[in-house]
Amino acid sequence: MSVQYAEREIHMSKERLEEILDSITFIAKSYTGVEPLIEYAKEQAERVQELENRNKELEYASKYNGELNEFLQKKKLPPKTLGRHVVDVVMDYVQELEHGKEHLELIKERQEEEYRSLYQKNKRYREAIQESQKELKDNPVTAFNILKAREKLNEALEESE
C-alpha cells in the first residue's frame, strides 16, 4: 500500500469516525447505554491522529534513509554491505574510518619520533663537521690533522647510529 493511499485511507477513516460519532451522539439522546460506544469512537479518532503522526515520522525517516543509502552507494562500499540495513552499514563504515584514523595517528607518532632522532643525529654530525673545519682552519693542514678530523667525524657517525 502506498503512503499516499494509506494517508487517504486514514483521512477518510477519521472523517468516517467523526460522522459515526455525530450519529451516535444523536442516537444517544434517544437511547441509554450508548456511552461506551461514544467513548470508543473518541478513542479511535485519537488513535487515527496518532497513526497519522507516526506515518509522517516514518516518511521523514524513509526519506533520510534513502539519501543515506545514495551516499553509501557513491562511496562504492564493498559487496558485503549489500542487503544490510543502511544504519548498520554506516556504523561499520564509521568504525572502519575511526580504525584507519587511529592507525594513521600511530604512524604519525612513529614518524615524529624518527624525525626527532634523525634531527639529533644530524645536529651531532653537523657539530662534528664544524669542529673539524675549525681545527683544520686553526692548525696546519697535515695528514695527522686530517686523520684526526676524519676520526672525529667517524665517531660522530657511530654515535648517531
Tens-place pLDDT, residues 96-113: 889 888 999 999 999 999
Cα–Cα distance, 69 to 90 (Å, whole number)? 9
pLDDT digits (tens, 9 = 90+) for 112-154: 999 998 898 888 888 888 888 888 788 887 888 888 888 888 8
Which cell numbers hold the place of 142?
Answer: 697535515
Determine what percent of the chain is predicted with pLDDT higher than 90: 11
Q: What is the pTM (predicted TM-score) of this model?
A: 0.41
HEC readout, the chain:
CCHHHHHHHHHHHHHHHHHHHHHHHHHHHHCCCCHHHHHHHHHHHHHHHHHHHHHHHHHHHHHHHHHHHHHHHHCCCCHHHCCCCHHHHHHHHHHHHHHHHHHHHHHHHHHHHHHHHHHHHHHHHHHHHHHHHHHHHHCCCCHHHHHHHHHHHHHHHHHHC
Please provide the average confidence, as pLDDT, over all residues in the chain.
77
At CB < 8 A and 24+ separation, what contacts does 56-63 make?
59/3
CA distance 116 to 114: 5
Domain coordinates in residue numbering, the chain: 1-76, 88-161
